[in-house]
Structure 1
Amino acid sequence: MNGSDRGLSRRAFVRSAVAIGGASALAACLQREETEDVPQATRAPEELPDRQHAWNDFLATDDHGNVEPPEHHLLLGLEYVGDGPAAADGERERLEAAFRTLERAYERGNDGLAFTIGYGPTYFDRFDEELPESVDLPAPEALAPIEDPRLDEYDALLHLASDHGHVTLSVEEALKGELDDLNGITVEDTFDGIFDVAERRTGFIGPGLPAERQSGVSGIPDGEPVPEDAPMFMGFKSGFRKTQASEDRVTIRDGPFAGGTTIHLSKIQLHLHQWYEQDSRDQRVAKMFSPTHAEDDLVEGAGDNLGDSSRVAEVGGSAADDARNEGTVGHAQKAARAREDGEPIILRRDFDSTDDGQAAVHFLSLQRSIADFVTTRREMTGTDLTEGSVSSRTNNGILQYLTVRSRANYLVPPRGRRALPEANPD
């Protein structure tokens, strides 16, 4: 990373360092980023919410109240290295001490660190007890006839997020036992000898970040077509406050894992040559939002003018009618059908990626049960709309531009049970 980084902006360089990982990448990242302003925690770990996924009150928001997620994301697929049921020889206490080190070292939020750890079905299979009935955590599976994903079987998933790339890298190195000090706090313990990192995935989200990373990336045509203000590769804003489930809605209510949630994680490869080279701006708006959005010119730029809602429920009209009469149905139109009492049922925390030089989305969603994600995904697929309505898959939202490469499901316990939980603690 010496010499070859001279033409990179600071932000692009940092994202490259996060993607590479390791001690040398961390050292290079520390030379480029301002590190003295990263705040230590202002409250003790025991004063934090019991919900691991309670991020929103600690994250930045825009002028419309939409949550602005951290810029840098790191996903670590973890394998438990022990035999039989987990948490032998004080492992649970060691892991909890490691997590509390993170919570003391960094203020929770964009400027510091937000993180969660979840556990997959294969982790819980090692126990004699079954998960309680209040937890819906099936093994991952393909969710549409058009996909053939890899089904991940990692024991755990650690999600790290920060506006500072060196924070995610430092946390990774500290947890592996490679750092003694983390932002001025002594590292109490690590997951060395408890977890091995089986896979690392990285990503980013925010205005201007995809445009900086588009050059030479597979799946994006030459000419740098991604708009400079776009927060994601497809050119439009997502995560509007009124199209997201609340953290309350995605929280498990009963049983020993009350206060937890579930994660569904997909890696989705992007194919944007037609999107940018053949489709017009109006066609892209129609496929992302609805035909009405395109006809009435409702979307300016990336869509910041829409405020706190995609406005699909307000002006989008019937997805079935548009499929039949317009030959096009919008992605947001389809997703809006997956609501209960008028409210969304999943909370998206997805972000773009250029891992392996390929444009992709790590689609990470939180929901009370995996069944809620399956319901939402079924509506997004819109198979019912294509039967005699949309003449080709091309006009069925954005499906044509996406290939699902992997799927995984995880249980995110409450903080009090986040360190190697038993399958049924009660």
Structure 2
Amino acid sequence: MADMIQKFGNLVDAQIPDHPNAARRLLLAAYYAKRVQLKKFPPKELSPARNDMAVTSMNAVIHPLVHPEKTGLVSIFTPCELLQTYGIYPMVAEAMSCYITGADAERGFIDYAGEEGVPETFCSYHKILLGGILSEVIRRPRFIVNTSLACDANNLTFRMAAEHYHVPHFYIDVPYECSEESVRYTADQLREFAKFLEEDQKKPLDMEELKRRVAVGGRTMKKLAACQTLKHDLYLSNDITDELYEVFGNHVLLGMPEVERFADSLLRDLKKAEPSRGIRILWMHTIPFYQKPLREMLNFSDRCQVVACDMNYDEYCEVDPEKPFESMAKRLVYDSFNGPSDRRIRRSLSMCRKLDADGVVYFCHWGCKQTQAAAQNARAILEENGYPTLILDGDGCDSGNSSNGQIATRMQAFIEMLEARKAGSTDGR
């Protein structure tokens, strides 16, 4: 199977420079086939909720590739309830790159971006995206919108994409300070974005539909927060890709009824889950889902499980559907990825306690200055509070930029250390 996927990726890569339409059709054929598999022959190890979310995430990648005229290119933290009111599909930069990597086709896009002058040290998620944009495999969207959260590459990538496509670009600047003034400032920008959409779509915003979407998002966040609480002493079989699906649902897809149904279903699954067993890992930052050693150690494992990723509990806030702009703004301002890294570290420490984690993996993604700068500080604080932390260097999206051997050795040693520590703690009681 792995050889077949690799051959497919090579086939896509070969089409990128001279036949971008063929490369796109190949990718879409693979995504359609995977969606059929997920619907008709879901993995038996996955709970119904997580399999449904896999289908929803697949649709979120397929639709923008098929309907660029109804698509806005967005960053992962962009509030997309406004897009939903107009039936506009969000093309999520990070999601698109993940799915290209899942098809083993990222190398051609990375090489194309490099030939066009994108630096080697640039974030691979954004290199893959820019390779798709500059090669025209990813067709021209209606517009581009991104926030200042949470990485420098966002600003460079989306500006470059807007210049290449010659499409409007809307930027949402989120202040670092957590205050009502910051919320008002951000809400005013979201109102300007609503005007931007009204001009683009040539029709007024349906405020009642926006309020409905914000209400759906608010309920979904509450339910997903309840899921995190339930995970404390339960085991629900999962794989490392599940956490990435939940990232999309918790951010750009928030407000969609499908995601609220996922939250309802996940609550039901957890209420029927088995008692916790094995080592419980809290993962910080993105997950290199494609790496074989991690899949072998963590997918559907009784021995060691990733119980949560910090991109899935970055903020749960109360919303007021009657104040939709303020509610969306509050979610951005108070997000733990906004501002200094100590907010994110404190939030993760809180989740370690809530989830009864045995240890933390802090993944330093190649090209991400934020993770590299905060890693040692995070480890010091987490370990001071009793949570052993592994700083794992690698690449979340470029399979050619990570060492399977190093990942396997370090992860295996960390799991063994946590097992010994947990056994000693049990014996001590």
TM range, smaller chain: under 0.3
Specify which structure has the higher proportion of helix: 2
Q: State the TM-score, normalized to the length of structure 1.
A: 0.25
- Bigger relative CO (Cα 8 Å, ≥ 6 apart): 1
